[in-house]
Structure formats: structure tokens, C-alpha cells
Structure 1
Amino acid sequence: MDLTRITVAWTAITVAVAGMLLAMRSGAMISSVVLIVAMGFMSLVLLCLACALLVRGIRPADRHDQAEHAKLAAQMAALSEQQQSAARLIRAIARVEASHDLLQSAGKARARVDLGREIERQRRMDGSDAAH
């Protein structure tokens, strides 16, 4: 288990036990000595865990850590490249869709114009047939 998780869990336990002990003390269920000893022990363990975290954060990175960092950096670069590729693909799809919509609307307009011309031609033909 990770030292950070252990420290966080112990902190939560310390806070919960401190609350319980203080409640028991206010109800006169335990003596002050028991309260002081229990709180002192839990605080001492918490202090040791915090110091261990601090020392771990200060220590120089070893070769394994450096290799892990290099591996993570390579993965991040690959992910970034994939995201850029996906963004380019999305932009290309959007351009194609916009072009398709434009062509569709232009086609509809052209069809309306052609229909209007055909109707006019039919009217003229009907008018010329009626005149004869």
C-alpha cells in the first residue's frame, strides 16, 4: 500500500478516535491520563508517517524512478499526438459535413429554380396551346 494512502487513512482514524475519546472524556467515562496517552500515541504515529512522507519526497530519484518518469513522459507525448490527430480528424469531418450541407442547400436551390422554370415553360406552353 502507498505511504500517502496509509497517512491519509491514519489521519482519518486519528480524527475519529480523537472525537470519540473527547466525547468519552466529557462524559467522564475515561480519565485524563488515558486521553493524553491515547492522543499522544496516535499523534506520534501520525508525525512519524508525515516525516516518512517528507523524507520520501526529498530523497533523490533513483534510476528506476527516472526510467518510470521517462516512460510516463513518452506515454504523455504519444497521448498528446493521438489527441492532436483526433482533433485534426474531427476538424476534417466538420469541414466535410459543412461542405455537404452547402452542396445540399445549393442543390435544393437549384432544384427550386429548375422547378420554377419548368412550371413557367408549362404555363407558356399551355397558354400557347389555348391561343391556337
Structure 2
Amino acid sequence: MQLMTEPPVAPASDAERETWNALWRGFRGKCPNCGSGPMLKGYLKVRDHCPVCREEFHHHRADDGPAYLTILIVGHLMAPMLGFVFFQWQPEPLVLFTGFAIGTIALSLYLLPRLKGALVGFQWARRMHGFGARR
């Protein structure tokens, strides 16, 4: 049984597609159209269509965008933190390396599918790459 965090919403018409809602739904791994169906069927594999509202996803073009965004965000968070931790507490190099290696990998693995969903949601909201075509 799946708990819903937001009430089901009628699918968006051709005139209205809110970008921020689509980004947030995609970040959560949900369909940008209805907000309740799952977008991903694996860790990074996008479904061909939403099982709830039947919105098609097969024509998305996320490509390397989520990986670049993940590197950008993780790098900009971890690099200053590394400098701060080193100068504040001066831990042993092996402890510093181990802690930041685990943190960097964990944050990257957490963000990658969420940023992919957000990117597909953005493409849907802006009608890019076939998302605006009539069924």
C-alpha cells in the first residue's frame, strides 16, 4: 500500500505546466504530470510511461545532465567543507580522506536519481524533446 503525500491532481492541460511543481515532483521520483505515479523503474532507468496517468516519458533527453549537476553540487559543497574541517580540527590524513570519500560518494548516490527526475520534470514542463506533442 502506498501512502500519498499530496492529493492526486488532475493532469495538466496543454495551457498550464508549472515548472516548479514539475521539478519538485521529478526530484521526488514522481510523474511530473499527475504527481503520484513513479517515474523511475530502477536506480536511473526512466519508465516509458506513467502507470497512473499514462504520460509518456520515452522521449526524454536527460543524457549526462544529472551527472554534471551532481558533480557541480557535490564539488561546491564538499570542497569548502574539506578546507574548513582541515583547518579547524586538523585530523589525520587517512581519517580526512576516508570521511570525505564516504560523504562524497553517499551524497552523489543520493542526488543522482533525484536530479535526473528533476531534469525530466523540467523537460516535461517546458515541452522539450517531444513532451509537448499531442498523443
Question: TM-score scaled by structure 1?
Answer: 0.29
Choose 1 or 2 for highest CA Rg: 1
Question: TM-score scaled by structure 2?
Answer: 0.29
